[in-house]
Amino acid sequence: MTFQENLMTDIITAATADQTAPQPALHWFEIPVRDMDRAQAFYEALLARPMRREQMGGSTLSVFAYDEPAVGGCLMAGETAPEPSAQGALVYLNAGASLDAVLLRVEAAGGRITTQKVELPGGMGCFAHIADTEGNRVGLHAAA
């Protein structure tokens, strides 16, 4: 085999091996917003963590803080961003150690609770749904 054929074989073998390992179902998420300053202030107050502002093409992103390795996501505004919506996919953000503490900050930050705290069976934690300042429906989850 030529060098290129060996290289391709190695790449295919490595890719196949990676596919057999458990993979997360989610790699990245984007929550559309109309007013980035307002939305970023809301989520920073809600989650008590800073966000990082970035430009990508014609879009403005505000990236949620996350530890590696982990799934990340952002707020997204700009020409290519869809309209905020209470319909469609529901993303659950990590509420950390206390969902109750995060829920206490929702209304003060400008959002509203749309589904009160629900305890999940089998020690799976609890969740709630909120509406953010942009009109998006977002889930919050805590392990305890």
Model confidence pLDDT, tens digit, residues 27-65: 899 999 999 999 999 999 999 999 999 998 889 999 999
Distances (CA, A) of 59 to 36, 114, 130, 141: 11, 29, 25, 28
pLDDT of residue 140: 96
Judge whether 130 lies within some domain: yes
CATH number of domain containing 119: 3.10.180.10
Structural domain range at position 78: 26-142
Whether the link from the prior residue into 69 is cis, omega within 30° of 0, is yes
Q: Per-residue pLDDT for 18 more than 70?
A: no
What are 42's two structure tokens? 């809301």
Domain membership of residue 72 (yes or no) is: yes
Supply the DSSP symbol for 120: P
Strand-pair category, 92-94 with 72-78: unpaired
Q: Residue 80 falls within a domain, yes or no? A: yes
pLDDT band at 12 (very low <50, low <70, confident <90, very high): low
- Rounded to whole angstroms, the Cα distance separating 39 from 72 reads 17
Decide: pTM greater than 0.95.
no
**Does residue 91 sit within a domain?**
yes
Is residue 7 in some structural domain?
no
Which pLDDT belongs to residue 69?
A: 81
